Structure 1
Amino acid sequence: MESDWVKIYTSTNFFQAELVKQLLTQHEIEVVLMNKRDSAHNTFGQVEVYIHQSNFSQAIEILVLNDINP
């Protein structure tokens, strides 16, 4: 991944991370999910949401307005 991407959200719940991705995508922010969960058990690890650094302020504002703790 390029160096100008920043992690904006982390969760152990894949579906919560996907909801964050969809919310940001609706506001035309490009999002990448990195699933770092254990593939054998799917109970360990986290899912991380990354955005381009230039969209950071806008993304934080969107998350806060939607009561999502970044």
Structure 2
Amino acid sequence: MDKLMENWQKVYSTSDALRAEIVKSTLDGHNIAAIIINKRDSSYNDFGLREIYVSQENHDTALIIIENEISFK
């Protein structure tokens, strides 16, 4: 992992761009900075994930928010 990302932890991953944006937006709404790392292969657009990362100190809170406030049913 890149040196700049060493204090960030993954809290969610999805192949759906809209879901990634919803998770990021929800976390941002709780004043938790979140970033989306796009790991999709540009040659094969159907392969790979988008991963959402938050700082280590916000990791546990972010997981609780994702579990309790976001539903994709």
User: TM-score, normalization: structure 2?
Assistant: 0.83
The residue number in structure 2 matching 1:55 is: 58
Unmatched segments (≥5 aa) in structure 2: none
How many residue pairs get aligned? The number is 69
User: TM-score, normalization: structure 1?
Assistant: 0.86
Q: Which amino acid is the alignment partner of residue 32 of structure 2?
A: I
**CA-based RMSD:** 1.7
4+ residue segments displaced more than 4 Å = none
% same residue: 35
- Give the alignment partner of residue 21 of structure 2, picking from 15, 18, 31: 18
Unmatched segments (≥5 aa) in structure 1: none
The 5-angstrom pairing of residues 1-70 of structure 1 reads: 1-68=4-71
